[in-house]
Amino acid sequence: MNQLKVFDSSGASLLTAEDVALLAGCKIATLDSYLSRSQMPKPVGVIGRTRLWDQSIIQTWLLYRDELKIIIELRNKPRWVRYKLTPRDNGTFSKVPKTITGKAGSSTNSSTWATYDDIVASTHGDGFGFVMNNDGIMCIDLDHCVVDGKPNDLALEFIASLPKTYVEFSPSGAGLHIWGFGIIPDDVPNKEIINGLSIERYCTGRFMTVTGKPFINASFAQIM
């Protein structure tokens, strides 16, 4: 069966859902999922039931899709805070949550949270993070597992045991944050050491730093 070919008033080609899915390497159902989560451009029009996209807009979206994935998964949730690095007596630093105006923040007080755009625009503190509130988004923190920009074998083995998901380097560059979907079961500890690898799991009651420096750039998967 021949594909429907549609052009706008300037003669530029418009893409159907079948065209976009082919270019994106996914199923139309996946496009519908992207649209429901505001993860791709909306159609510019319809003919009957056939949705149509501007070809240049889709090409730009595909060009930046991978780079935007970490932001896409979290950007529409107004649960962002800034943080300030504060020295401890033992020589390490704690990350103290701050609001976009530099006031005291909290991982449990939603009035101190902000949108992604506002948090990026703020210059207070040393970075920003996303608040976990048990809504199905979780993060696994692997500490002290990266040397000279390369994860050690224990970290690589642990990551390989999970579905492919977004993994980024921590602010220090010495750890990894594994982002995905899931809720921590009651019988699974939040913190444990497996074969010398320090593993911390979080899904509520705290914020996790976000650097946007991926080790594995992929959409969030169900990791627990």
- Predicted confidence at residue 5, as pLDDT, reads 65
CB contact set of 115 (below 8 Å; sequence gap of 6+): 78, 80
Name the burial class of residue 83, with classes exposed (0-12), middle (13-18) and buried (19+) by CB atoms within 10 angstroms of its CB.
Answer: buried
* Structure tokens given for 188: 């699974």
pLDDT tens digits for 53-75? 988 888 878 876 665 666 778 88
Helices (H), the chain: 17-24, 28-36, 55-64, 69-74, 116-121, 153-160
pLDDT tens digits for 71-123? 778 888 999 999 999 998 888 889 999 999 999 999 999 999 999 889 988 98
Band (1; pLDDT cuts 50, 70, 90): very low
CA-angle at 81, arms to 79 and 85, nearest 5°: 150
- Domains of the chain as residue ranges with CATH: 6-65 (1.10.1660), 73-216 (no CATH)
